Chain A
Amino acid sequence: DAGVTQSPTHLIKTRGQHVTLRCSPISGHKSVSWYQQVLGQGPQFIFQYYEKEERGRGNFPDRFSARQFPNYSSELNVNALLLGDSALYLCASSATGVQPQHFGDGTRLSIL
């Protein structure tokens, strides 16, 4: 069975641009969570969606938004990119919305 898949794997943007990151959960998993991981740190929670409804939001500005589709895949959108948004963005899925979570390998976003 396929694990959590994320696309693209790498992305380079410039300040002020916007970006859309995509995530496909493990088949049968209804919950998707997004995390930002800066080099040398643990992942920071951004959003959780379950059954297409937002279940939680971390301490991130409104420039960050997300949605979940009927097939449970998800998109993370970031507007007005800043240099500080450079990070590894991780998607995790779980069957019921609680632990444990299974992670994809992330999208490495670099802002120039």
Chain B
Amino acid sequence: TQLLEQSPQFLSIQEGENLTVYCNSSSVFSSLQWYRQEPGEGPVLLVTVVTGGEVKKLKRLTFQFGDARKDSSLHITAAQPGDTGLYLCAGPRNFGKGTSLLVTP
């Protein structure tokens, strides 16, 4: 089983701040996905990273895949209350425990 560790587990920030969440493993992944989940809903795919060193941007969200394809990060610029949710990284069939983000006005 390829374990994925996410940090921090919880994050509470004010609107306008920047933040980074991390996803780490001792295993090499062919690809990693990032999902966002809101209460009462299923996870929604944000991005898939495939190539080591790859950087993808989705509006204010920047995703990076580590050169060795063992880790990934998600950076949010100028967070908004609408960014509140559980951010999950995932490999094939396994998920991290998630980072629960709360952005207050």
Contact = CB atoms under 8 A, between A and B. Distances in A.
A19 to B, nearest CB: 19
B82 interface: no
Contacts of B41: 105-106
Contacts of A102: 45
Nearest to A46: B93
Contacts, number: 49
Contact of B92 (A90, A98, A105): A98
Contacts of B66: none
B25 interface: no
Contacts of A61: none
Contacts of A4: 42
Interface stretch (B13-21, B57-65, B70-78, B94-102): B94-102
Nearest to B38: A105
B40 A45 contact: no
- What DSSP secondary structure best describes chain A's contact surface? loop
A105 B97 CA distance: 18
B45 A56 contact: no
Interface residues of B, number: 21
Interface string A30-65: 000101000011111100100000001011000000
A72 interface: no
Interface string A79-112: 0000000000010100000111111111010000
Contacts of B92: 98-99
A43 B43 contact: yes
B85 to A, nearest CB: 13
Interface in B12-56: 31, 33, 35, 40-45, 48
Contact of A103 (B42, B96, B98): B42
Contacts of B31: 99
Contacts of A92: 42
Interface of A: 4, 33, 35, 40-45, 48, 56, 58-59, 90, 92, 98-106, 108
Interface of B: 1, 6, 31, 33, 35, 40-45, 48, 88, 90, 92-98
